[in-house]
C-alpha cells in the first residue's frame, strides 16, 4: 500500500520540551510539506521541501525545524521556542515540484498537546 504515514496519532508533551513528529512516504514523491491546523481554521504552511537535502520556510516557520536527509522522510521538530504548539499537524507530499504538480497527498495527522 502506498501512502503517507505520520506517527504517533496523539502526542503529549510538557512545555519547554522539544518534540519531533514523524512523516514517511512511499509514493516516491519529491516534494513534502508540513502544515499546522488550529480548530476552525484552514491549513497553514510551516516548512516544505522540494528535494532531498533542501527545504524552505513556509508562512509560520518560527519555532519549528525540519530535515530532509532521505526522500521518504521529512520529520518536523516543534521546539520550545514555539509559543502555541498545541495543534493538529499534517504532513503532505506531491509528485514533483518541477512538474508543477500541485496535488498534495496528506497523511492522517498528529495531534500534539503541550501542557
Partner 1 sequence: GESVGLHLPTLSVQEGDNSIINCAYSNSASDYFIWYKQESGKGPQFIIDIRSNMDKRQGQRVTVLLNKTVKHLSLQIAATQPGDSAVYFCAEPSGYSTLTFGKGTMLLVSP
- Is the CB of 15 or the CB of 54 nearer to partner 1? 54
Q: Measure Cα distances from 88 to 10, 50, 79, 114 in Å.
A: 9, 23, 15, 12
- Return the C-alpha cell found at 55: 527545504
CB atoms within 10 A of CB 48: 24
> Residues 40, 83, 84, 115: which binds partner 1 (CB under 8 A)?
40
Instruction: Kindly state the smallest distance separating residue 97's Cβ from partner 1, in Å.
Output: 4
- Is the CB of 18 or the CB of 56 nearer to partner 1? 56
61 binds partner 1, rule: CB under 8 A: no
Instruction: Choose one: 14-22, 62-70, 71-79, 102-110; the region binding partner 1 (CB under 8 A).
Output: 102-110
Contacts of 62 (CB under 8 A, 6+ apart): 81, 82
Upstream peptide bond of 63 is cis (omega within 30 degrees of 0) = no
Interacting residues toward partner 1 by CB under 8 A:
4, 31, 33, 39-43, 45, 48, 50, 58, 90, 92, 94, 97, 100-109, 111
Amino acid at each position: 500500500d502506498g501512502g503517507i504515514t505520520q506517527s504517533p496519532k496523539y502526542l503529549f508533551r510538557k512545555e519547554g520540551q522539544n518534540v519531533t513528529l514523524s512523516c514517511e512516504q512511499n509514493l516516491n514523491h519529491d516534494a513534502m510539506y508540513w502544515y499546522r491546523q488550529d480548530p476552525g481554521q484552514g491549513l497553514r504552511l510551516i516548512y516544505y521541501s522540494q528535494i532531498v537535502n533542501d527545504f524552505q520556510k513556509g508562512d509560520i516557520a518560527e519555532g519549528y525545524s525540519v530535515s530532509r536527509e532521505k526522500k521518504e522522510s521529512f520529520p518536523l521538530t516543534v521546539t520550545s521556542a514555539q509559543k502555541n504548539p498545541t495543534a493538529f499537524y499534517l504532513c503532505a507530499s506531491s509528485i514533483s515540484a518541477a512538474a508543477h504538480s500541485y496535488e498534495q497527498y496528506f497523511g492522517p495527522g498528529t495531534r500534539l498537546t503541550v501542557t
